[in-house]
Amino acid sequence: MKISLNHISFSYDADAGYADMIIKDFRGSFTAGAFYSVIGPNGSGKTTLLDLISGFLKPLSGAIEIDGAPVFSFSKKALARLISVVSQDHTVNFPFSVKDIVLMGRHPYIPRFSPPSTADLNRAETVMEICGMRHLQDRKINELSGGERQRCVLARALCQDTPILLLDEAFSNMDIRHTLDMLHLVRQSVKEKNRLVISVFHDLNMASAWSDDILVLKKGEIKAFGNSAAVLTAETIKQAFEVNSIVEYSQHVQAKQVYYPIH
Amino acid sequence: MALSIPGAIVKGRTGFLVVLFSLFLVSMIFLSLSMGYIRIPITDILQIFLAKAALSVHGLQTMNETHLAVIMDVRLPRILSCAGVGAALALSGVLFQGILLNPLADPYTLGVSAGAAFGASIAILLNLGNAFVSVPLFAFAGASLTLFMVVFLSYSAKNPMAGLSSNNLILSGVIVAAILSAGISFLKFIANEQVSVIIFWLMGSFASKTWSNVWIITAFLGIGFFISMFFARDLNLISLGPKSAASLGVDLRKVTFILLVSGSLLAAVCVSISGIIGFVGLLVPHMVRFITGPDNRKLIPLSMLSGAFLLLFADTITRAVLPHEIPIGVLTALTGGPVFCWIFKKNRFK
């Protein structure tokens, strides 16, 4: 499975000039079996990029293809069986239980007017088990803490069981233990199920430790894109974020780590 | 697949609740039929129904003619219209609360009531033809036009994703309703002696409803129920927010538009039959949610049964219990309002 973006430009204002575009002439591809991280300063277009790949937004120009077929040639249901999304907004407006929410991940597989099949229910049970949410399953989503709610939303996406998983700061509210557990789960599915994961991170060290490739965005343009170790340098970080840093290989993490000197 | 609707609904606790609520409703209908200026024993009512069902001319001839006329021509059409309107208002409330992601939304949030009232006021003011036909027709047209105006205002071709968002819809509804209210005030101002007719119509009533009203509301209710159940799971997913719902395969614009139109037309037909009856559409889904939780597949059928029951209860009180019939819209607002305050206070600050 491969996602390719050919000359993608996007702006919320259709009349915007090239300079005001949120994504500018993006060219690149993502292949299955790899964990990609997207990093970049606020407003660099990270979320917009994910929205374009998931088909939530339509590019003003260019085409996004999944294995050669345009994203918009898929029916909504078919697309939902290919791509699952954990968005930043995880408010739920009505008090559904955790179990209900996780089971919603099976929506694209359940025909209208039918109750979920045993397989659907089993999948939801399994996901709640591996995400350590069994004890929360009957709790109402709006009574959970931010981190628990985020875990529930990630569990819903895993329950959707798609070859492509898009994560938009999916771990930002989780404590360190759950962050590591969840990243481990996601990472495992990349290897075992040949999944394609694209995750937006703010923590550069997390991105470096967990991903195969890193994409650096700034003002809608690619600053660097490639192997994590190659991309993550003090120069790139200075260019993208305008901060000074020291980048060193860490034996403990077995990846590069970034340190920010205090001056 | 479509044939498995009952299978999906009538299962376990929900099935039991549907049966229980239906029994309540049927008992209420019989109770209401027997009550009134002329008390008619329930056994007589059953006899009339049995004779009607068996098409027994002889059976009907032996009955008290007054009782027969009161039941079949006066009370039954009124009661069934009332139950139908109650169910339709409750269903409409469920749809609006689900689409607008706002538990305070009701069938009138988008200005449908103001549109209907404006239409009806024009018909009354201009004294157009047969008032029994023109007033409901104008009310329905006014409501529909308002809906399309609101959708037009909140839709943006440039940025279709931001269009039809709940904020845009509510804001457009408020603006349009405010303009129409001023319009209604103006119509009342120039109406002279007809002003009382307008005011009375706006307060709502089920007096002198006929079988044609029953058929109209039944048809709308049937179609509305089918559409709502068809999209019930999508409506659940919409509460996750637009991005998550879209990522799970919900065609947001299509579902929002279809359910919005269904909810508004249901409200419009209700207003055209019985005037503006507030709080049923707001309150019933709220109360039923305490029993069923937020799952629309359970919420929709049970809200409809509860809405029918509650409105019929209120109408029976104003028709048969109170010494003088007061407008049903006033009664529901006077009783529903305080109940809503209580629920609101209890839940917000517990």
- Inspect the interface and report whether the beta carbons of B1 and A107 lie closer than 8 Å: no
* Same-domain pairing of A101 and A157: yes
pLDDT band at B325 (very low <50, low <70, confident <90, very high): confident
Higher pLDDT, A96 or B156: A96
Residue A85 forms contact with B (CB below 8 Å): yes
CA atoms within 13 A on the CB side of A199: 29
Average pLDDT across chain A, whole number = 93
B158 pLDDT above the threshold of 80: no
Model confidence at B68, pLDDT cuts 50, 70, 90, reads confident
Average confidence (pLDDT) over A102-113? 93
Nearest-Cα residue of chain B relative to residue A75: B249
User: From its phi and psi, is residue A18 left (phi > 0), alpha (psi between -120 and 50) or beta?
Assistant: alpha
In sequence order, the 6+-apart residues with CB closer than 8 A to the CB of B28 are B309, B312, B313, B316
Q: Among A23, A137, A153, which Cα is nearest to A88's? A: A153
Rounded to an integer, the average pLDDT of A29-53 is 95
Which segment of A2-6, B3-7, B220-224, B252-256 scores lowest on mean pLDDT? B3-7
pLDDT band at residue A79 under the 50/70/90 scheme: very high
Q: Averaged over B159-175, what is the pLDDT?
A: 76
Q: What is the DSSP string of B17-48?
A: HHHHHHHHHHHHHHHHHH-SSS---HHHHHHH
A104 touching B (Cβ < 8 Å) = yes
Contacts 24+ apart (CB under 8 A), B211-220: B211/B77, B213/B77, B213/B81, B213/B273, B214/B77, B214/B80, B214/B81, B214/B84, B216/B269, B216/B273, B217/B81, B217/B84, B217/B85, B217/B88, B217/B269, B217/B270, B217/B273, B218/B80, B218/B84, B220/B88, B220/B265, B220/B266, B220/B269
Please report the pLDDT score of residue A173 as a whole number. 92
Mean pLDDT in residue range B318-323: 89
- Of A139-143, B160-164, B192-196, the one with minimum mean pLDDT is B160-164
For all residues of chain B together, what is the average pLDDT? 86
Beta carbons of A76 and B243 less than 8 Å apart: no
Q: Is the pLDDT of residue B2 over 50?
A: no
pLDDT of residue B350: 45
Q: What is the CA radius of gyration of chain B?
A: 21
CB contact under 8 A, B246 and A76: yes
A56 at the B interface (CB within 8 A)?
A: yes
Distance CA B88, CA B223 (A): 11
Residue A257 has pLDDT above 70, yes or no: yes
A61 in a structural domain: yes
Out of A57, A108, A160, closest to residue B161 by CB: A57
User: Are B176 and B149 within 8 A, CB to CB?
Assistant: yes
Can you give the pLDDT at residue A174?
94
Q: Closest approach of chain A CAs to the CA of B107, in angstroms?
A: 18
Mean pLDDT for the stretch of residues A191-208:
95
pLDDT-derived band of residue B157, with 50, 70 and 90 as boundaries? low
Which residue has 């507030």 as its token pair?
B278
CA distance B42 to B348: 44
Say if residue A77 is in the same domain as residue A111: no
Q: Do A91 and B241 touch (CB under 8 A)?
A: yes
- What residue has token string 């010494």? B323
pLDDT above 60 (res B3): no
Check A111 against B240: CB less than 8 A apart. Answer: no
pLDDT band at B316 (very low <50, low <70, confident <90, very high): very high
pLDDT band at B4 (very low <50, low <70, confident <90, very high): very low
* Residue B59 predicted with pLDDT over 70: no
Through-space distance between the first and last CA atoms of chain A, rounded to whole angstroms: 46
CATH number of domain containing A58: 3.40.50.300
**What integer is the mean pLDDT of B275-302?**
91
C-alpha to C-alpha distance for B309 and B302, rounded to whole angstroms:
11
Chain A positions in Cβ-Cβ contact with residue B236 (cut-off 8 Å): 96, 100, 104
Q: How many domains does chain A have?
A: 2
Q: Which of A94, A167, A169 to mutate to test the interface with B (most CBs of B within 10 A)?
A: A94
Domain residues for A72? Answer: 1-82+164-178+192-263
Instruction: Output the pLDDT for position B130.
Output: 61
Residue with tokens 């409803």: B209
Model pTM score: 0.90
Minimum distance, in Å, between the CA of residue B87 and any CA atom of chain A: 21
Sequence letter at residue A99: K
Q: Which pLDDT score is estimated for B1?
A: 35
Strand partners, A225: A215
Query: What residues does A47 pair with on adjacent strands?
Result: none
- What span, in angstroms and rounded, lies between the C-alpha atoms of A109 and B45? 50
Q: How far is CA A52 from CA A10, A18, A72, B247, in A?
A: 9, 17, 11, 12
Contact assessment for residue B118 and residue B71, using Cβ atoms and an 8 Å cutoff:
no
Is position A183 within any domain? no
- Looking at the structure, tell me whether residues A135 and A226 fall in a common domain: no
CA angle B31, B34, B36 (to 5 degrees): 110
Q: Are residues A214 and A263 in the same domain?
A: yes
pLDDT value of position B8: 44
| pLDDT attached to residue A166 | 97
Task: Name the amino acid, one letter, at B204.
Answer: G
Q: For the domain B74-348, what is the CATH code?
A: 1.10.3470.10
Pull the structure tokens for residue A204.
């550069």
Return the residue of A nearest to B239 by Cα. Answer: A93
Per-residue CA distances from B226 to A2, A113, B222, B301 (Å): 40, 11, 6, 10
Mean per-residue pLDDT, B197-208: 84
pLDDT surpasses 50 at B6? no
Examine the pLDDT at A54 and tell me if it is beyond 60.
yes
Concatenate the DSSP letters of all residues of B177-191 into one string: HHHHHHHHHHHHHH-
Distance between CA A182 and CA A156 in Å, rounded? 13
Are A256 and A210 in the same domain?
yes
B7: confidence class by pLDDT, cuts 50, 70, 90: very low
Q: Are residues A236 and A108 in the same domain?
A: no
Q: Does A66 touch chain B (CB under 8 A)?
A: no
Whether A173 is covered by a domain: the verdict is: yes
| Rounded Cα gap, residues A219 and A199, in angstroms | 18
Of the candidate ranges A210-214, A222-226, A239-243, B145-149, the one whose mean pLDDT is the lowest:
B145-149
Cβ contacts (< 8 Å) between A91 and chain B: which residues? 241
For A218, phi then psi, to 5°, come to: -150, 130
Q: Closest Cα of chain B to A153: distance in Å?
A: 9
Say whether both A29 and A116 belong to one domain: no
* Burial (CB count <10 Å: 0-12, 13-18, 19+), residue A12: middle
Who contacts B235 (Cβ-Cβ below 8 Å, separation ≥6)?
B95, B98, B99, B228, B255, B259, B296
A66 and A169 together in one domain:
yes
Name every residue whose Cβ is closer than 8 Å to that of residue B193 and which is 6 or more positions away in sequence: none
Is the per-residue pLDDT at B103 higher than 80?
Answer: no
Direct distance between the N- and C-terminal alpha carbons of chain B, in angstroms, rounded to an integer: 43
